[in-house]
Structure 1
Amino acid sequence: MVPQLSMTRISFPEPVLPSVFSGVTNCPGETQEARSPASSSPPGTQEPRNPDFTPMEPCRSLALLTSSLGLVSLLVALSTNFWFAAQGPKSSSHSGLWPSKDQVSVVAGYIHVTQSFCILAVLWGLISTAFLVMSCIPSLSAPGRGPIVSTFMAFAGALSLIVAMTVYTIERWNQPGNPQVQSFFSWSFYLGWVSTLLFLCTGGLSLGAHCTTHRPGYEAM
């Protein structure tokens, strides 16, 4: 008979970790910030914004800048009398949109047209600038409505200025000249055209700010 071999299971005692590992120790190079508790905000979220103020994106900031510059330029052009200048052999003169008291009765019709459309442009520019400022304060304007209203107002101001400047330019250009007198447009006139370009830029930038604000996923950024 073949003798049966008995198998005996040998058990080893489990290793006991030293008590030094039971606590939390600082590793070399570890900073206090690494061991600070995690933020209570979920990952990927930003801190809550101030509800009384909306951060200004680049388009809105540039639109507010061009609108302010255009409005100031137009006010300076309207208040100065250097639209047209004349240089003679012995004297020189200059004129604007507001003739002196002794010339009120002989003001040409195109001057009145230029005055009216320039004043309209000032009003549109004021409204455009005001809505851009209010768009930064949600409590003063409906969400997303400020830039689009400013767009229409800025383009309306630019259109009014185009009419005013075109009428003035054509009428002055077609006036008969004196061979002994050199006449030319002065700096107030060119400042009016600069205001027109600035209002056009304001309309484009305000439209860009409106489209950026309503871009899908913008609020989640």
Structure 2
Amino acid sequence: MVSPRISSTVLALLSLLLLLVALGSDHWLVDDTVLGSPHEGLWKSCLNSVCEQISSASVSLKVTRVFTLLGVIAGLVSSFALFASFLRSHPGSVSLTLVSFLGSFSAGLCAMIALAVYTGEFAGAVNAAQSQVTFGWSFGLGWASFLLFLITGVVMLVAHQSS
């Protein structure tokens, strides 16, 4: 059977990768009905393959950016603690599996807050009758990373309790 630390390491890296791709990509909102398929991310808005920085971001978009970045930082802490746990399980009085558990849950919580704020802000644009704007694949990757971070946290909790 695969060790919980090994499976949680794979899950943590996958979660972090998904959140990083979601953070850096520009397909959070997509409008396939307009010629040129305009799409927008957290940092850029694109039309006809020409992208521009979003200069005047709303408060909701800024909150989404901040919490997504905090999620990435917490995911990095979790992944680093997991890798370090293979070398040494307790530097001092701190259990690295516990640090990884807390980092994974924190990353998941930050991602959830970011995505919930974004959903609340832009759900009106998505549901407008005259518009065919939909949430894009980047948005979906963000939600997938949230779920994987929670699963990683549960697996790390199991690993911590078994050690």
TM interval, short-chain normalised: 0.7 to 0.9
Q: Which residue of 2 aligns with 1:21?
A: none
**DSSP 3-state at the match of 2:86:** coil
Aligned CA RMSD, in angstroms, stands at 2.1
Q: 1:139 to 1:159 in 2, by over 3 A?
A: closer
Alignment of 1:152-171 (within 5 A): 152-171=102-121
TM-aligned CA deviation for residue 113 of structure 1: 0.4
- Asked if the contact 1:135/1:143 (under 8 Å) is kept, the reply is no
Counterpart position of 1:150:
100
> Where does structure 1 differ by over 4 angstroms across 4 or more consecutive aligned residues?
none
Larger C-alpha radius of gyration, 1 or 2? 1
Deviation at 1:138, TM superposition (A): 1.9
Deviation readout 1:38-63 (Å, 9 max, x if unpaired): xxxxxxxxxxxxxxxxxxx6111111
Equivalent position to 1:177, from 115, 128, 135? 128
TM-score normalised by the chain length of structure 1: 0.65
Structure 1: gaps of 5 or more residues: 1-56, 214-221
Alignment partner, residue 70 of structure 1: 15
The structure whose RCO (Cα within 8 Å, separation 6+) is larger is 2
For residues 63 and 34 of structure 2, what CA distance do their matches in structure 1 show?
32
**TM-score (norm. length: structure 2):** 0.87
1:28-39 paired onto structure 2 within 5 Å: none
Q: Percent identity, please.
A: 34
CA contact (8 A) 2:28 2:42 kept: yes
Instruction: Check if 1:125 corresponds to 2:79.
Output: no
- Report the AA paired with residue 60 of structure 1: R
Structure (1 or 2) with the greater helix fraction: 2
Letter of the aligned partner of 1:79 in structure 2? G
